[in-house]
Structure 1
Amino acid sequence: MIRYHRIFGLASAALAAALLMAPSAQAMTKIERVVSPGGIEAWLVREPSVPLIALEFSFKGGANQDPAGRPGVAYMTAAALDEGAGDLDSKAFQARAERNAVEMSFRASRDEVRGSLKVLSNRRDEGFELLRLALNAPRFDPEPIERIRAQMLTALKRETTSPNVIGSRLWWSAAFPNHPYSLPTNGTLESVPAITRDDITGYVGRVLARDNLKVGVVGDIDAESLGKLLDQVFGSLPAKADLRDVPKIRPDVLGKRLEVQLDVPQTVVAFGGLGIARKDPDFIPAFIVNHILGGGSFSSRLYSEVREKRGLAYSVYSYLLPLDAASLFMGGTQTRADKADEAVGLIEKEIKRLAEDGPTFDELERSKSYIQGSYALNFDTSTKIASQLVQLQVDDLGIDYWERRNGLIDAVTLADVKRVANRLLNGGVLFTLVGRTQPATTAKQGG
C-alpha cells in the first residue's frame, strides 16, 4: 500500500518542482555511509543544489509477521501510522503535514514495512518531527482504524471478481501451502473484521526496531545533520525486533495447471516457478536470461512468439522475484478464452527451448547492452535514488555496487547464460488461468 498526502499552496508547488530534480550522475556515485551518534546507519547521496530531502527506510518483517489467522495486520498498520500521532489526531496531523508540504507514506509487502518522507530543505525539521511522531507515538484512534478497515473490506469485495487477483491468490496459495506467503498481504474478508488495535500495536512493537532498519537519504543535507536527525526519528525505537522465523520454502505443485471459471472477456494467465536468490552468483546471468525470455518487453522471446507472430495478447512478461524465504521466477499474460491453451503452450515451449538450448550470442550481447543502459532510469529522481539506496542495503550488495554492476554484467559469458538458463527454467512452472477456460484441474473461485 502506498498512500500520499495531498499537499497545497506555495510550499507544495516548490516540493513538486523539487521532486522532478535529481542529483547529477557524478553525485550519484558519491554514497556516504553515515552512522549517527546513537549507532544508526544510513546511506546518503548529498546534493545541495536540490532543495529537497528524500528519505526511504525499510524494516525487515512485513506481512510474513502477521499474527496467526490475521492476515492484513501489517497492511492495516502501514495504512494507520500517519493517521494521527502524539497530541495530533488524524486531521491535525495531516493538516500540519499539508501546511509544511510534507509527503509521508508507509506500505507493507510480504517481507518488509517501508516508509518514505519527502520534504523541502527549509521545512526539514518539521518533516522529520512528524515522521518521529508517526513511528514512535502513533495513536491508532478508533475512527481512522474503522475507516481503513472499511476501505480494505471494500477493496477485498471488489477483488472477488477480479481475474488478476483471483489468479494471483490461487497461485500463491497453491505454491506455498501452510506458509505465510500463501496468504494475501491485504488480508481476507474473514480476517480484516477481526483485526484489533492490540494486533496493530503488538505488530509495531515487534517489527519496528533499530536492528532491522535500513535507511537511504538523498538531497540537501550533510552527514552531521543527518546523524542527529536519525537519532531523533529512530533512536527511541526498540533496539531489537522480535521477528517470528519464516522458514525457507520452494514453490509446490510445479508443472501443474489450475483453472478457475469466470465470465470475463479475457482469460488471465499467471505462471511461476523456482527462481535464484539475489546474492547467488548466478543471479546476474539469470537476470539476463529472464530479460531474453520475457523481461525485455518488445525484444523478448515471449513477446515475439505470443504477440508479434500470433497476436494472442497485448503483453506477456516474466520477472525474477527474490524474497526472504523463497526465490521465484514469475510471469503472466491475458488472452482470448479460446486462445488460452495456445498461449500457455507457447509460453511452455519457449521456456523449455531456452532451458535446453540457452540464448544466442546476439541475444546475450543485446541484453547486456540494454540492461546496462537502462539502469540509469532507476535514478532519475531523488526518491528513486533513495529507494535504490535502501534496496542495495536490503539485498546486502555493498555500497560500491553501482560501480561494480556493469563489470559484473560484462563478465557474463555465453556458457554462463546457457548453464543458468537450464538451472532457472528446467524446474517446472505452475500456471493459473482465470476466465472462460476448459477446466483441467478446477479450483474454487477466489482460491
Structure 2
Amino acid sequence: MSAVLDRVEVNGVEIPMIFEEERVLPIASMQVVFRYSGSLADDGRPGLAKFSARMMNEGTRSLGSTGFAKALEERAISLSTHAGTETFVFELSSLKEQFGKGVELFTSLLEEPNLSDVSFKKVQATTVGSLMRKESDYDYQASILLKKLLFAGTPLANPADGTVEDIKSLKLDEVARFLKEHLVLHRAIVVIGGAMTLQEAKAYAKEALKPLVAGKSEPLPYYKASGAAKTKTEKRATEQAYIYFGAPFDMRVNDPQSYKAKVAAFILGSSGFGSRLMEEVRVKRGLAYSAYGRIVLNKSSSYFSGYLQTKLESQSEAEKVVREVIETFVKKGATQKELEDAKMFLLGSEPLRNETLSQRLGRAFNEYYKGLGLGYAKKQLELIEALTLEDLNSFIAAHPEILKLSFAVITNESEAPKTKSEK
C-alpha cells in the first residue's frame, strides 16, 4: 500500500503521522522529525543544533553511552539522531519483533538524555577535532564562503557545524535549553512504517513521544539569496583553485512549476556527463575534472549553486566559461535532444528511487513537509513527460536572476591570478 497521512494524539496534542504498511520483510522503522529545530534555530550560537544532536547520540544517563549502544546492538536496533538546516531528526529501525524494545529505548532517551559533563566534553573534543580537519578541506571552506555571500546577515551564512571557536565556547546548559525548547510535541511529525497495522503504528508513536511536553512551534523564516553578484577570494596553500558559485532563484518550494526547475537543472548541471556545464567546462575545454550545478528549493531558501575545481592558471577562464554557459542557457534555452534525454533518465530512474520502504517514506515525508501533498512524485513524473520544449524554454527565460552569480574561490596565495577580494 502507498503512504497515507493520519494523526496521532499524544498528551492532548494532534501530531501528523505518515504511515506505510509493508510486509514483504519483517522490518519496522520510524522517524520523528521536529520542525524549525535545525541549524536555522541556533539562535546566534552556530553549531548548537548539530552539537545537540550529537549529544542525543550519547545514550541515556542511566545506561551511559556504552551501555545504551550495547542495548541497541544486542537486538540489532538502529537509533540515531541528526540535525539538518530546518529539522532535528531521530531515526529508529529494527526487525519487527524488536521494534517494541526499540521504542522503549527511544522513550528512555527522551526521558533522560546523557547530558553529563563527561559526555559534553567528549562531544566537544570530537567536534572541535572534526572542524580542525575541515580547515584543510577546501571544498568545504569554499561552500561556506559561498553561503556567506548569498545569505549575508542571516543564519544561513553561518556554518551549520559552527567554527572551532563556536564549539569551544558552547555550554552544557545551552544544549539542555535547546533540547527542552525544540523537542516538543507541537513541532513533531512522525514517519513510520513496515510490518505493522496503522493502529500498531499509532500505539508505537504514542509510546515513543509520551515523555514530551506540548511546547510551542513557530513559522519557519524564508531567506532570499543575494543577487549582488560578488566575488570573494581566500588564499590557502593549495595546488588548485576551488570555485563555488551561486545566485538567487525566484521560486518557492511548493511552486506548481517546480518540476520544470528539476528538468532545467538536470540539463544545465545536475546530471553529470551530458550536462551543459560538464560538456563545456570539462569535455570541450578540459578545465576541470567535473563541473556541477543545481537548483536548491527548501522551505527556508531557494537558490542556484554549483562548483568545480581547476588548475590555478585556469581559474579566470573557468569562471568566464561558467558565466557564458549559464547566460547562453537562459537566453537560448535547452535543445529538443537535451529535453528528451532528461525525460528518459528522470522517468526511467524513478523505480530505483523507490525500491525500499525507507525511500518511500522519505519521499512521502518530503511531499508532506514541502506542502505538495502525498502522491505528488507520481504527478510530477506525468508533468515531466508532458513537458514541451517551448514551455521549458519559456520557464528558463523567465529566470534571468541566475545570471547574478556570486563566486567563492579558494586559491593559492602565490600563484593565483590577481583579483579583487570582493567586488
Matches within 5 A, 1:243-282: 243=218, 247-252=221-226, 254-275=228-249, 276-282=251-257
Change (3 A) 1:57 1:389: farther
Change (3 A) 1:53 1:425: farther
Contact 2:265–2:293 (8 Å) recurs in 1: yes
Offset of residue 99 of structure 1: 0.9
Between the aligned partners of 2:110 and 2:395, the Cα distance in structure 1 is 43
| Length, aligned pairs only | 413
Between the aligned partners of 1:313 and 1:415, the Cα distance in structure 2 is 32
Between the aligned partners of 2:376 and 2:210, the Cα distance in structure 1 is 28
Between the aligned partners of 1:168 and 1:309, the Cα distance in structure 2 is 26
Equivalent in the alignment of 2:96: 121
Which runs of no fewer than 5 residues in structure 1 stay unpaired?
1-26
Between the aligned partners of 1:119 and 1:215, the Cα distance in structure 2 is 16
Contact 2:107–2:211 (8 Å) recurs in 1: no
Contact 1:208–1:237 (8 Å) recurs in 2: yes
* AA aligned opposite 1:122: E
- What is the Cα-based RMSD across aligned positions, in Å? 1.9
Equivalent in the alignment of 1:387: 362
Matches within 5 A, 1:80-99: 80-85=55-60, 87-99=62-74
Contact 1:355–1:426 (8 Å) recurs in 2: no
Offset of residue 246 of structure 1: 5.8
Equivalent in the alignment of 1:63: 39
Between the aligned partners of 2:350 and 2:308, the Cα distance in structure 1 is 25
Matches within 5 A, 1:30-429: 30-38=2-10, 39-61=14-36, 62-68=38-44, 70-85=45-60, 87-243=62-218, 247-252=221-226, 254-275=228-249, 276-427=251-402, 428-429=404-405
Contact 1:271–1:432 (8 Å) recurs in 2: yes
Equivalent in the alignment of 1:430: 406
Contact 1:214–1:394 (8 Å) recurs in 2: no
Deviates more, 1:92-101 or 1:307-316: 307-316
TM normalised by structure 1 equals 0.87
Between the aligned partners of 1:403 and 1:162, the Cα distance in structure 2 is 39
Classify the secondary structure of the residue corresponding to 1:42. strand
Per-residue Cα deviation, 1:136-165 (whole angstroms, up to 9, x for no partner): 431311122111111111111122222112
Deviates more, 1:346-355 or 1:420-429: 420-429
Offset of residue 247 of structure 1: 4.3
Between the aligned partners of 2:125 and 2:393, the Cα distance in structure 1 is 51
Deviates more, 1:247-256 or 1:160-169: 247-256
Between the aligned partners of 1:320 and 1:218, the Cα distance in structure 2 is 31
Change (3 A) 1:66 1:333: same
Identity fraction in percent: 24
Offset of residue 311 of structure 1: 1.9
Offset of residue 425 of structure 1: 4.4
* AA aligned opposite 1:267: A
Contact 2:107–2:210 (8 Å) recurs in 1: no
Contact 1:270–1:331 (8 Å) recurs in 2: yes
Change (3 A) 1:293 1:145: same
Between the aligned partners of 1:42 and 1:425, the Cα distance in structure 2 is 40
Classify the secondary structure of the residue corresponding to 1:432. strand
Classify the secondary structure of the residue corresponding to 1:272. strand
Between the aligned partners of 1:167 and 1:424, the Cα distance in structure 2 is 25
Offset of residue 382 of structure 1: 2.7
